[in-house]
Amino acid sequence: MVNKDAVGRTGPRFDVVIERGKIREFARATGSTSPGYLDEPDPVVPPTFLTTASFWQPPEAADIYRTLDIDPRRLLHGEQEFLFTLEPPRAGTVLHAQTTVEEIYDKEGRRGGVMTFAVLRSDFTDDDGVIIAQARTTLIETGRAPADSGEG
């Protein structure tokens, strides 16, 4: 069962350093040959690049995912959204990221069983606290393990 008391909880702030080499590596891995990513001295990040921040965050920032108490065998990544206030941040930028549990709700699954949706929002701000980008992740805890139900 997902811990619904987690709604409104916010993790600690951590720094995200936008690096040119990582942008190039990510652009290549996602099939881009755009000189805008590969040759520019200060390229913007690809639309889904900030997803990498969650894999490099300090362990105490990842605790926010653990407070959700989702059964890992029934966990699906349902939706992902990225918003940029102006143009996406460029290499050389340091952003400050913080993740909040925005919403948790139940929905009747198509094949029976209740699915629980957890929406997490990460705000990426500059030194003045101005929001540069936002990422919204929807995690789903299915009624039973995806491998058993044949759903992805």
Partner 1 sequence: MARLDLSIGVELPARTFGPLSRTDFVRYQGASGDFNPIHHDEEFARSAGFDTVFSVGMLQAGLLATYCTDLLGPANVRRFKTQFREQVWPGDRLIASARHHHDTGGGRRRDQRHRDLRHRRPRGRRGLSQPLSSS
Whose Cβ is closer to partner 1: residue 5's or residue 79's?
79
Do 45 and 18 meet the contact criterion of CB atoms below 8 Å apart?
yes
Specify the stretch interacting with partner 1 by CB under 8 A; choose among 92-100, 108-116, 119-127, 140-148.
140-148
DSSP per-residue string spanning 30-72? TT---HHHHT-SSPBPPTTGGGGGGGSS-HHHHHHHHTT---G
Whose Cβ is closer to partner 1: residue 83's or residue 94's?
83
Per-residue tokens: 51: 């997803």
Q: Does 11 bind partner 1 (CB under 8 A)?
A: no
- Looking at residues 25 to 64 of the shown chain, list those that interact with partner 1 (rule: CB under 8 A): 25-34, 36-37, 43-44, 46-48, 51-52, 55-56
Q: Select the residue interacting with partner 1 from 64, 88, 97, 123 (CB under 8 A).
A: 88
Q: Does 145 bind partner 1 (CB under 8 A)?
A: yes
Whose Cβ is closer to partner 1: residue 8's or residue 17's?
17
Q: Select the residue interacting with partner 1 from 10, 71, 83, 94 (CB under 8 A).
A: 83
How many CA atoms, within 13 angstroms, populate the side-chain half-sphere of residue 123? 14
Under DSSP, is residue 4 helix (H, G, I), strand (E, B) or coil?
Answer: helix
Whose Cβ is closer to partner 1: residue 56's or residue 105's?
56
User: What is the C-alpha separation between 88 and 84, in angstroms, rounded?
Assistant: 6
Which class for 4: exposed (0-12), middle (13-18), buried (19 or more C-beta within 10 A)? middle
Interface residue list for partner 1 (CB under 8 A) = 22, 25-34, 36-37, 43-44, 46-48, 51-52, 55-56, 73, 76-84, 86-88, 145, 147-148, 152
